[in-house]
Structure 1
């Protein structure tokens, strides 16, 4: 039998505790110390710590419960509302910033941790969060009163475990695919780096071995699914392209050199924090990029474009350091990028490497595509399981067929 309970009622019943992050003063910052987890480091389903600020360990007692524990659920509540993740075992402790809220489930109470995590991804949460979000000139946010008033459906612990088990099977497979993707790229870079260290390697500046070196377009956005995909800087992360943040633009306004070709290299070329990110375009889908991204298309008569793409991935740290301009106006000029020298194996080794690198990248792309399909299935099943519109046994069969 399910109950409808608010977060406040669950706290009163001892099912969980929650709170926002620690509000630090400049005088408390010290490195080394306890790192601060920011909104940007919380992604949907996981955290990717890139710690910048630290709090002196002398304030550890003052931080109290705002220091992380394994099993905490973290929800971003300011700026970008609604990213949720569970803190895994084995992660060194950190303190939560004021832009996130943590939830600590009592393992013997009414709730299970995984069920609450999935509830934060459900339409039941999002419908309420959307109606409660306050807005300032800076960003959306959920305050503590908003969170206390959220109401969730609480079935028996057995049903909660079953629902989390079905959805978790999909997430587990997605995690495996992420490892395949990461390992494939790491192995490709290792093979490429080994080849570069051999005799006969060559140096070349990017402009001299490319046939296209250009910024993208100023898009005229369209909502039609038939129009051309246009990538923006959010699409480039981790050396790969995600179409999730992409938009659409009118196709007839895009000239041929700015239509992407398989094995093009894309470089984020403006903005603090994103400038210098590099990705390879490995799709045959019709697409272009906006003016914040530079397209590098290598001349196949001079270099293998796959090997040259790996050469650029290898020097991404150098590209990230090349921006110039005032704070918030960082810019990577096309001529700067063109002058950058990359190291390449001999032409014979490039030909040998091509098939190996292509095979590794194809395996990674297959894993990514499968993950996208699994995530779509999870997001379809989640609201139906939470509302009881689909039985757990039926969902288990669907998941079994998909995995």
Structure 2
């Protein structure tokens, strides 16, 4: 791979030999699939029963499957642009991909796309970090529900627990064991409440008058709320380029994504959405584990949620903090840089983002409202509109993507 095709920042190409260190990844297919799971399946999965209730069992299931397949397709479109477009090969960030795809576009058009991508990506990732810290604080509170401590304090405890890991993780695969712990904790977060409902019934938990509908009365508000939750919970395009950049062989992304992750995502979202709605009915609201009664089941599910949210924050935090590090101190921003200044700046950025996330989490009134807001605002722009514009970009980019077959095309075919 030539130097002229290597990207090392959010804004520009760099041909410095030292920058090549960031280009060569070290994550295999399974680890990449685990990282994608940690990235995509986060707080949104806990709101799946409520999203399903807005549409009904049949309509909700159809929407879940259709949007999941559409998400896989759009992700593969982004991968094809990255692998086949001559000005995008080697892009390690979402913004770099956009800059490469619009390299031949007018300057004003390129600037608009770069700023739009950067804003939508970073604002969404930060919003996710806020929700993860908020959910982790709720997890602490559910575990120790008999202790009278306010939610902001629980979030402080979660931040202190997370800080040593976040301060030492400068790559998406830095803590490989945590990736697999995250997958297990995710399964526990969903399966423990469902097992409780299956074994004990929902008579004492289900809201009176709540029932299961094949198709609900589809009002515009319900449709938009449900779709925004699905968008929020399923999309992966915000961090896909950063995940590809960490792979040993980016050509194997379809295997990691469509072969391993997508089936796992379908199973987990179906269990959370369909089974959760089946047990709780159309009046379900909030996070699915909040409907459990006080006791060991609630504490176990909350413990899994706490672990899952902290690790999910860690994954998102790596991308956000690396971007900030490049912006404020690019010369020392390489993940492989072991000089004291590099580490000191990194630790400061991590601590600052934790503090900012904690402060912002105290401004979030309701979990469901925050999910709907993120899902309806920046998610469609960054995860659907921009990727399709990249693929449809006229000129040399489009020719490169539709010309002679490449090894990448043979994988998709």
Q: TM-score, normalised by structure 1?
A: 0.32
Pair member with larger Rg? 1
Instruction: Choose between structure 1 and 2: higher strand proportion.
Output: 1
Q: Which has the higher contact order (CA 8 A, sep 6+)?
A: 2
| Larger helix proportion of the pair | 2
